[in-house]
Chains A and B, each alone.
Chain A
Amino acid sequence: MAKMNMLQAINNALDLAMAKDDSVVCFGEDVGHFGGVFRATSKLQEKYGKARCFNTPLTEQGIAGFANGMAAQGMKPVAEIQFADYIFPAFDQIVNETAKFRYRSGNEFNVGGIVFRSPYGGGIAGGHYHSQSPEAYFAHTPGLKVVIPRDPYQAKGLLLASIASPDPVIFFEPKKLYRASTGEVPEDYYEIELGKAEVTQQGKDITVLAWGAQMEIVQKAVEMAEKDGISCEVIDLRSILPWDADTVAASVKKTGRLLINHEAPLTGGFAGEIAATIQQMCFLHLESPIERVCGMDTPYPLALEKEYVADHLKTYEAIKRSINF
């Protein structure tokens, strides 16, 4: 075990993956010698050479298209999109190409080797072009897997599983936690299974569900609620697509209540999908309406970020609202 922050854990995962398999290649804007603007690919070019870790021109659609071609040839490209806010020029390549490659060819070809890594989310005074959480757009696309880790241990295990996965994965990294989140991480190779949620805290009165950077936020709210005598069960969804409805439903059947928290705006956010599925699976077990604590339906603000975000106080209030319904 070693103490690592999330960036070190990600860097370590990439290092292990590249050492293990020659077909793993890392590229993106500033990813080469500089090691990425956040340094996630630090020292990889030195270690594995310019052919396997390199800068690309400033073209997200080019990065995604290039990754599709490499993966179709059988390699495992780990392509970085510098900020999730800038993934949209690549949307066509990801949604129409990456996601449908295997299906449309009848499995003659596939691009399952791909991982798109991209820092997402707010809390860094980044305004609306350095703070977005676009997971719901991709979760609406059959053929993709969407994964978001909450801490360094999770980041390493989930990223290694994503690289090993036979399906293309979009791996959104909570950049707010890149350096802020630290923890003990095994130095050896390990994978955390995709598509499985994790119950991080047992409880009996309400299920509180989140992912990524919001896990810390809901934890704070849960601690406040516990002082009021409310016992919360906390779940980290980890995989947005496919998502682990069974684990969430089992918890809600026990607690009778569900609160979903995400950073992205409320309308059309992934919480809506979860709420719809869980009310169907758990209708007779529900004691109160499913609560959604999410970003507001505005672009991500700058000066008024504190007011906008789905913070611990809004979450705490929603827990009480659910309990007192």
Chain B
Amino acid sequence: MTNPNNATITTVHTAEFTAGDALKIPTLRILRDDGSLYEGATAPELDKATALKMYDTMVFTRVLDERMLAAQRQGRISFYMQCLGEEAATVGSAAALDDKDMIMAQYREQGALRYRGFTLEQFMNQLFSNEKDLGKGRQMPVHYGSKDIYYMTISSPLGTQIPQASGYAYAQKLRGLANTTICYFGEGAASEGDFHAGLNMAAVHKAPVIFFCRNNGYAISTPANEQFVGDGIACRAVGYGMKALRVDGADILAVYHATKMAREHALKHNEPVLIESIAYRLGAHSSSDDPSGYRSKEEEEKWRQNDPIARYRLWLIEKGWLKDADDKATIEALRSEILDALKVAEKVAKPGIEHLISDVYAQPIPALQQQLVELKAHIRKYPDAYPVTAGRLD
């Protein structure tokens, strides 16, 4: 028989449940902890330059995270989010894309952002909300975005980028572009209504989007087993009629390979694909969070052995593309480079008062213009109370 959608369905004549665990999605692993390949696994085709760029990007984000978390502790920036343990997931996936594929991230994807070419200065300007920040100092630290490198500005509400990615990819298809959209989100955000809405819209309207779920085990303090029941997020894709892949998110070769495959499929067939990456969030959720309240040091230690950078490094050394001694000098140089950039960015002025009302609309509406006139008059009356803007009102 067929269902009302004219799809053929099978029939049975005795009732039997289909259980939640009927569908188990396997997890792709290519790279062993010791840098060798699993038996039967093939490394994806990677040239030396790309392979090293991937490595450098992971190292960069790790040093950046370490330095900026310290800066937050020193009170120099208000907030920070690290991607410790998940570097391979975002760098490996970004490396598999075309430079003009849109990236719609959640907030822990600085690896993808850096891979695209976001400069150290741009990172710093955003983190310090100064007048050189592309976002004009309007969003909390780590809400990066850049039109030039096809990286959609981050939005705090979780999951909202999912149906947007479907729409963006649909528009790419309508315009005849040979580009896709990748949409990152966590396993916690996959509980939002927008996840369902976005996946279903993409599947029905055949949008070439790659949904990349970073299943990192925790949504702030809530462990994945209190977030959902069952095999994970990947199996849900099958329910929406789309293809799914699951990868070890600490294995950059597996992530790269899976994303290449997903991209090819998405563009060739105008279909969405979901990738679930499994990689533990080794750091706290954010600088405002303390994981000791909800998970053990032993648990963290176990996952620390799964370090995505160490594993890939061994592979690169084995290939002869990296020397064992290279790292220390690189990391030291990076640290001082980051510190220098930080010192510059924290001294750059905050955005001018006009940016309080700009970009709310394409042009400020009359009520806003009036409110700014009144505000300026008020600041002139009490300049000491508004030191950021009082000295440069016009």
Task: Name A's B-contacting residues (CB within 8 A).
Answer: 25, 51-52, 54, 56-57, 59, 61-75, 77, 89, 92-93, 96-97, 100, 102-110, 112, 142-143, 145, 166-167, 195, 242, 245-246
- B143, A104: Cβ atoms under 8 Å? yes
The reply to whether the CB of B198 lies closer than 8 angstroms to some CB of chain A is yes
Complex contacts, A73 vs chain B, CB 8 Å: 102, 167-168, 171-172, 175
- A104, B155: Cβ atoms under 8 Å? yes
Shortest beta-carbon distance from A140 to chain B in Å: 13
| In the complex, per-residue mask of B152-175: 1 if CB is within 8 Å of any chain A CB, else 0 | 110101001011111111111011
The distance in angstroms between the C-alpha atoms of A108 and B204, with both chains bound, is: 30
List 12 A-B residue pairs with CB atoms under 8 Å apart, sorted by A's residue number.
A57-B204, A59-B197, A73-B171, A92-B194, A103-B359, A105-B135, A106-B133, A108-B135, A108-B145, A112-B362, A145-B361, A195-B366
| B143, B358, B363, B367, most chain A CB atoms within 10 A | B367
The distance in angstroms between the C-alpha atoms of A68 and B368, with both chains bound, is: 24
- B160, A92: Cβ atoms under 8 Å? yes
The reply to whether the CB of B146 lies closer than 8 angstroms to some CB of chain A is yes
- B194, A67: Cβ atoms under 8 Å? no
User: Known contacts A57-B201, A105-B145, A242-B367; is A69 also within 8 Å of B133 by CB?
Assistant: no
User: Known contacts A104-B155, A167-B362; is A61 also within 8 Å of B138 by CB?
Assistant: no
Complex contacts, B359 vs chain A, CB 8 Å: 102-103, 105-107
The 8 Å CB contact of A61, one of B145, B155, B193, is B193
- A108, B134: Cβ atoms under 8 Å? yes
| B147, B169, B200, B361, most chain A CB atoms within 10 A | B361
- A66, B201: Cβ atoms under 8 Å? yes
Shortest beta-carbon distance from B162 to chain A in Å: 7
The distance in angstroms between the C-alpha atoms of A110 and B152, with both chains bound, is: 10
Complex contacts, B194 vs chain A, CB 8 Å: 61-62, 65, 92-93
| A97, A102, A104, most chain B CB atoms within 10 A | A104
- B157, A92: Cβ atoms under 8 Å? yes
* Residue in chain A with minimal CB distance to B166: A66
- A51, B174: Cβ atoms under 8 Å? yes
Known: A66-B163, A69-B169, A109-B145. 18 other contacts (CB 8 A): A56-B205, A59-B196, A59-B201, A61-B193, A61-B194, A62-B197, A66-B167, A69-B163, A75-B174, A77-B167, A96-B157, A96-B160, A97-B157, A106-B134, A107-B358, A112-B362, A143-B360, A245-B366
| B134, B157, B169, B194, most chain A CB atoms within 10 A | B194
Complex contacts, A54 vs chain B, CB 8 Å: 205
The distance in angstroms between the C-alpha atoms of A226 and B200, with both chains bound, is: 57
The distance in angstroms between the C-alpha atoms of A68 and B170, with both chains bound, is: 11
Size of the B side of the interface (Cβ < 8 Å), in residues, is: 50
Shortest beta-carbon distance from A249 to chain B in Å: 12
User: Known contacts A102-B360, A110-B362; is A25 also within 8 Å of B174 by CB?
Assistant: yes
The 8 Å CB contact of B200, one of A62, A77, A107, A143, is A62
- A69, B166: Cβ atoms under 8 Å? yes
User: Known contacts A92-B160, A106-B134, A108-B153; is A67 also within 8 Å of B167 by CB?
Assistant: yes
Shortest beta-carbon distance from A280 to chain B in Å: 12
Complex contacts, B153 vs chain A, CB 8 Å: 104-106, 108-109
* Residue in chain A with minimal CB distance to B170: A70
The reply to whether the CB of B139 lies closer than 8 angstroms to some CB of chain A is yes
| In the complex, per-residue mask of B175-208: 1 if CB is within 8 Å of any chain A CB, else 0 | 1000001000000000001101110110011000
* Residue in chain B with minimal CB distance to A62: B197
- B171, A109: Cβ atoms under 8 Å? no
Complex contacts, A102 vs chain B, CB 8 Å: 359-362
The distance in angstroms between the C-alpha atoms of A67 and B134, with both chains bound, is: 24
Complex contacts, A61 vs chain B, CB 8 Å: 163, 193-194, 197
The reply to whether the CB of B348 lies closer than 8 angstroms to some CB of chain A is no
Complex contacts, B146 vs chain A, CB 8 Å: 108
The reply to whether the CB of B67 lies closer than 8 angstroms to some CB of chain A is no
The distance in angstroms between the C-alpha atoms of A145 and B175, with both chains bound, is: 27
Complex contacts, A96 vs chain B, CB 8 Å: 155, 157, 160
Complex contacts, B166 vs chain A, CB 8 Å: 62, 65-66, 69
The distance in angstroms between the C-alpha atoms of A92 and B165, with both chains bound, is: 16
The reply to whether the CB of B136 lies closer than 8 angstroms to some CB of chain A is yes
| In the complex, per-residue mask of B195-236: 1 if CB is within 8 Å of any chain A CB, else 0 | 011101100110000000000000000000000000000000
The 8 Å CB contact of A97, one of B164, B196, B197, is B164
- A75, B143: Cβ atoms under 8 Å? no
- A65, B197: Cβ atoms under 8 Å? yes
Shortest beta-carbon distance from A309 to chain B in Å: 30
User: Known contacts A89-B193, A104-B143, A167-B361; is A74 also within 8 Å of B174 by CB?
Assistant: no
User: Known contacts A104-B139, A105-B145, A167-B361; is A72 also within 8 Å of B160 by CB?
Assistant: no
- A70, B360: Cβ atoms under 8 Å? no
The distance in angstroms between the C-alpha atoms of A106 and B358, with both chains bound, is: 8
Shortest beta-carbon distance from A196 to chain B in Å: 11
Complex contacts, B147 vs chain A, CB 8 Å: 105, 108-109
- B160, A65: Cβ atoms under 8 Å? yes
The reply to whether the CB of B43 lies closer than 8 angstroms to some CB of chain A is no
Closest 5 A/B residue pairs (Cβ): A65-B163, A69-B167, A62-B197, A69-B164, A105-B153
Complex contacts, B104 vs chain A, CB 8 Å: 69
- A106, B135: Cβ atoms under 8 Å? yes
- B367, A59: Cβ atoms under 8 Å? no
The 8 Å CB contact of B160, one of A25, A71, A93, A242, is A93
Shortest beta-carbon distance from B124 to chain A in Å: 16
The distance in angstroms between the C-alpha atoms of A70 and B200, with both chains bound, is: 16
The distance in angstroms between the C-alpha atoms of A93 and B201, with both chains bound, is: 15
Complex contacts, A109 vs chain B, CB 8 Å: 145, 147, 152-153
The reply to whether the CB of B365 lies closer than 8 angstroms to some CB of chain A is yes
Shortest beta-carbon distance from A125 to chain B in Å: 31
The distance in angstroms between the C-alpha atoms of A67 and B172, with both chains bound, is: 13
Complex contacts, A74 vs chain B, CB 8 Å: 171
The distance in angstroms between the C-alpha atoms of A242 and B198, with both chains bound, is: 31
Shortest beta-carbon distance from B101 to chain A in Å: 12
- B164, A68: Cβ atoms under 8 Å? yes
The distance in angstroms between the C-alpha atoms of A63 and B366, with both chains bound, is: 31
Shortest beta-carbon distance from A190 to chain B in Å: 21
The distance in angstroms between the C-alpha atoms of A73 and B150, with both chains bound, is: 10
